[in-house]
Structure 1
Amino acid sequence: MKEGPDIAQIGALIGDPARANMLAALTGGRALTATELAAAGGITLQTASTHLSKLETGGLLAQRKQGRHRYFTLADEAVARLIESMMGLAASRGHLRHQPGPKDPALRKARICYDHLAGDFGVRMLDSLVASGAIDAIGDGLAVTAKGESDLQCIGIDVGSLKSSRRPLCRSCLDWSERRAHLAGSLGRALLSNFMEKGWVRRMPESRSVVFSPEGERQFLKLFPLEN
């Protein structure tokens, strides 16, 4: 008898095209209704309900009720990382569902991956933090340095309080469009929240993409420079 984790069950859950589309829609971090997810999956609401039940039973989705409405989210960050990594692998192997369209440049530049910044700007931010010595890249892991704690404190990020969270402080997440790592974990979430609170960036409706204001982009590029 075979022992160990059964990846076939997870693969079967994600492998259905409608379920894959619904999971991808939830990587933007927003809670969505069954109706919204049915539209994302290109299926009827009745069929979507069956799929959502399977995904929830399989531990990939969580739901919460608010009044008469039910909202669905990815179960946790681990699921978001898995979906994002699979999107990166699919893109690197040429498995694309459509030709690049007008929205693709915005998604490639800056988007939300669960609750942190992804795309070109997300990769740039991590590269800059590593280059400046604020973050050490140790194998596949990341660690904030003493210099990094001081630098981040200057922009309003209290690393000490983030360390007290049960969630990992910082980890790398494979970026599907750049096919390199961007910053996830509680630090990645705190930085994106910081940018939004400052008015540097805003979410686009019904999209994973985020748009930087001219001043926000100027400040971001100044804060996270890259050597030529």
Structure 2
Amino acid sequence: MTSEGRTRKRNGPTPSGLREESIHYHGHRQRLRDRFMAAGENALADYELMELLLFRAILRRDVKPLAKALIDRFGSFAEAVAARPERLREIDGLGEAAIVELKLVEAAARRLARGKLEKRTVLSSFMDVMDYCRTAMAYAEREEFRILFLDKRNALIADEVQGVGTIDHTPVYPREVVRRALELGASALILAHNHPSGDPTPSAADIRMTKDIITIAQPFGIAVHDHLIVGRNGQASFRGLKLI
């Protein structure tokens, strides 16, 4: 018996296309990794970046169809990573290990953005504040109301989500906002919330709520520096719009 025959007998029959598919599969993964390391994330389409992420959780499967399904369902890499776990579970073939990888990337992005704020004076880093709010909330599927509490030097004391609502409304209680600021010893606030619709244009309710917080906070010497609204299609600053 030839050495080829002995090998076939020992390993069992091999479908003609399986070996070629395996070689292509592993070669594709390495080529994608090499391109990412050589040219950076801008050289990759959203689905290719998603493939790289899924490689860690799904070791022995072609993940390109799954990556494309995620982008098709949610619209972009960022929106897929930010999707709620229960929605991710609706994707056929996406297991818990892969969902953990996606949520880990989301958490890492938030922590990186927050780290920039914690190391410098907030008001001298307006773009970092905006970037952080976009990272934290722009792709959320429900409206969230967030407050950055600042000390006298405008350094960050705390960053808290005060409420999570529906796709177009979050209940906000101005007296509770000020009460929490007093508890933390904050001297100033930056308010922020997202518009899941994508349009960051302030609503009449947004403007009214902001004015109510300013009115209640003022006697306690607490300033409201800005109210930021973020969405997939942009962002808005109340101070920039001269609304405060």
TM-score, with length taken from structure 2 = 0.28
Q: Which has the larger radius of gyration?
A: 2
TM-score, with length taken from structure 1 = 0.30
More helix by share: 2
Q: Which has the higher contact order (CA 8 A, sep 6+)?
A: 1
